[in-house]
Amino acid sequence: MRVDADVVVAGSGPAGGSAASFLVQAGYKVLMVEKERLPRYKICAGGLPAGALEQFPFSFAPVIEQWVQYMTFIHEQAQTTHRLPADSLAMVMRDRFDHYLVEQSKADVLDGHAVLDVGQEGEGVAIQIEGRSRPIRAGYVIGADGPNSRVARSIGLRRSRSMGVALEAEVDPNGAVQQSLQGRVVIEFGKVDFGYAWIFPKSSHLSVGIGSMTKGTHSLPEHFTTSMKKMGINLQSARMKGHPLPIYIKPEQMHKGRVLLAGDAAGLVDPLTGEGIRHAIDSGRMAAEAIIQDRVGQYSKRINLVIGRDMGWAAKLAKVLYSWPGPCFHWLVRNKYIFRDMIRIANGLLSYKQAVMRLLLYTLLALERTRLER
């Protein structure tokens, strides 16, 4: 079968950009298809651990808004602040970050055209593109086209998805508020079930939001407004935007034939933090490696073992934290050692399973210290 590209990557987010980058480095001809015109705005808090960036052979300095120095956690009237290790958590705007990654990948790009359908044809794949009379043919397809992936639907995968929900806005508060939040992320628990509100600082504004990892009805706008007002941010004129969070719940099939899913299309959002960029990058790289190493048949197993198994431990932590936010705030969130472990997890230096084992040790030590102080 005559092919137009070795691999077609649907979607230009972190998963698609990462997959394209590693494939082009290995000598593959890659065509990226994106339904929006690039660069395009993407709703996202934009927190990115340094460990995710270190996988690439180029610097992301041109698109880093700032490095976070502090994280402040709030529950009702209580709050605590932790200092982060230097250069461990970067702030980015997704339009600039995603476009930069696509440019650095050196892949061919077809933007402003959506993938409509994917059909497998023996030793290749036919991809029907919006506005094109004939399908594009390729050896493989990587579906990195978001939580409502058309690629996944085309091949009959991800039919039973678990979606959380987030509501976000970009705001430019008065100078004093803006200045007080430079270099500082703020997280507030207790405003919404199984979720939190947040403030992420950018170079000239703030990205703010609220989200829940569960289905159901949530009074997100009301809670969002109340939470931000408490921190001196008026959302009256802000343009709020909502988006789904495809939470990882259980092992699933992430590929079928010559089609692989990555990032949000594969449902790899962390059930504890709601963060998805890190696993989008990891899964994009693993999808590329599966093709390069001719191990596509092992892709789903690898994703579920390397990412999914640890997400199971994250889900256990989430159930504890969000079921008892008050006690967990005082016993866990305030603990500087537990906080350091969470930063290590984000940077790929520790697994959730290892952190849970250490958490039990920290708890026992704290109980013993309390007993001795009586």
Q: Could you give the percent of the chain with pLDDT greater than 70?
A: 96
Q: CB–CB of 295/28 below 8 Å? A: no
Domain for residue 186, yes or no?
A: yes
- Please tell me whether residues 225 and 197 are part of one structural domain: yes
- Please tell me whether residues 200 and 296 are part of one structural domain: no
Calculate mean pLDDT across residues 52-70. Answer: 96
Calculate mean pLDDT across residues 115-134. Answer: 92
Q: How many structural domains does the chain have?
A: 3
CATH of the domain at 229: 3.30.9.10
- Please tell me whether residues 359 and 222 are part of one structural domain: no
Q: Quote the pTM value.
A: 0.94
Range of 358's domain?
314-373
Name the CA dihedral angle for 259, 262, 264, 268, rounded to a multiple of 10 degrees.
Answer: 120
Last residue of a domain, one of 214, 246, 278: 246
Q: What is the tens place of the pLDDT at every residue in 136-179?
A: 999 999 999 999 999 999 999 988 778 899 999 999 988 888 88
- Please tell me whether residues 59 and 115 are part of one structural domain: yes
CATH of the domain at 26: 3.50.50.60
Last residue of a domain, one of 212, 246, 280: 246
- Please tell me whether residues 137 and 169 are part of one structural domain: no
Q: CB–CB of 116/128 below 8 Å? A: yes
- Please tell me whether residues 173 and 233 are part of one structural domain: yes
- Please tell me whether residues 285 and 330 are part of one structural domain: no
Write the single-letter amino acid at 320: V
- Please tell me whether residues 139 and 252 are part of one structural domain: yes
Domain for residue 72, yes or no?
A: no
Domain for residue 79, yes or no?
A: no
pLDDT-derived band at 370, boundaries 50, 70, 90: low
